Amino acid sequence: QLQLQESGPGLVKPSETLSLTCTVSGASISGSGYYWDWIRQPPGKGLEWIGTVFYSGTAYYNPSLKSRLSMSVDTSKNQFSLKVKSVTAADTAVYFCANRTPYGSGSHWFYWGQGILVTVSS
Amino acid sequence: DIQMTQSPSSLSASVGDRITITCRASQSISGYLNWYQQKPGKGPRLLIFGASSLQGGVPSRFIGSGSGTDFTLTISSLQPEDFATYYCQQSHNTPYTFGQGTKLEIK
């Protein structure tokens, strides 16, 4: 059973960098066919896909956030990470890490972390 | 980006009712449409993938259909645990996008 757990600071100051880590258990992050994603949800609002990182370190991002994003993998710790720089109040959200499973030419998220609320405030 | 539009945004219904939620994509996404259920304080739960395939462990009262741009999620007989928010999501193209959600409330 795959499990994911987000960790990181719950409060970040405006203009600083938000840094989160997702720890994966129950499977190797290096497993083939595994896509590791971040998704966020502002309080009371809908869901937004942030980006995907592969075990190789290759990442692709939502163009709306791309200029401020960085995602990476640490296979030795079975973790992947997200950094969002120059944050504003609009980045306040619950951040979820998730495992995306391909099917045909599509994919879906079955395994999710519990989510971590990150508030951007001085 | 592919825009996903759900209707209605909210819905009041009673236990035992049959309800339908609609999701429309701004361009064809073939059958690459997933449905999720989310309860307060929790991450989304995958219900349906590929427009109509029921995820393992999900009750058969959840029925997905559609292709191209128009999709529906039907719950054939509402149970108390079904009152939640439902999201559609396309996996045809990046950036992957979600509908705005449909909040299903008890009448």
pLDDT digits (tens, 9 = 90+) for A44-83: 999 999 999 998 889 999 999 999 999 999 999 999 999 9
pLDDT at residue number A34: 81
Tell whether B43 lies on the interface with A, counting CB pairs under 8 A: yes
Q: What is the pLDDT of residues A1-54, one digit of tens each?
A: 899 999 999 999 999 999 999 999 999 999 877 899 999 999 999 999 999 999
Q: Find chain B residues with C-beta within 8 A of A115's C-beta.
A: 42-43
Tell whether B95 lies on the interface with A, counting CB pairs under 8 A: yes
pLDDT at residue number A79: 97
Written as one string, the DSSP assignment of A58-101 is -EEE-TTTGGGEEEEEETTTTEEEEEE-S--GGG-EEEEEEEEE
Our CA-based measurement puts residue A62 at a distance from the nearest CA of chain B, in whole angstroms, of 5
pLDDT at residue number B78: 97
* Mutation choice for A interface testing from B49, B96, B102 by most A CBs within 10 A: B96
**Phi and psi at residue B82, to the nearest 5°:** -85, -10
Mark the ranges of chain B whose per-residue pLDDT is less than 70.
none
pLDDT at residue number A104: 81
CA distance A57 to B99: 29
Partner-chain contact A46 B44, CB within 8 Å: no
Tell whether A58 lies on the interface with B, counting CB pairs under 8 A: no
Q: Find chain B residues with C-beta within 8 A of A64's C-beta.
A: 95
- Plot region of B83 (φ>0 → left; ψ -120 to 50 → alpha; else → beta): beta
Q: Which residues pair with B22 in a beta bridge?
A: B7, B72
pLDDT at residue number A26: 93
pLDDT at residue number A105: 80
Name the residue among A2, A10, A63 with its Cα closest to residue A29.
A2
Assigned token pair, B99: 């509908």
Among A49, A106, A108, beta carbon nearest to B92? A106
pLDDT at residue number B103: 98
Q: What is the pLDDT of residues A77-103, one digit of tens each?
A: 999 999 999 999 999 999 999 999 888
Among B31, B49, B95, beta carbon nearest to A63? B95
Q: Find chain B residues with C-beta within 8 A of A46's C-beta.
A: 87, 98-101
Name the residue among A1, A5, A3 with its Cα closest to residue A95.
A5
pLDDT at residue number B30: 95
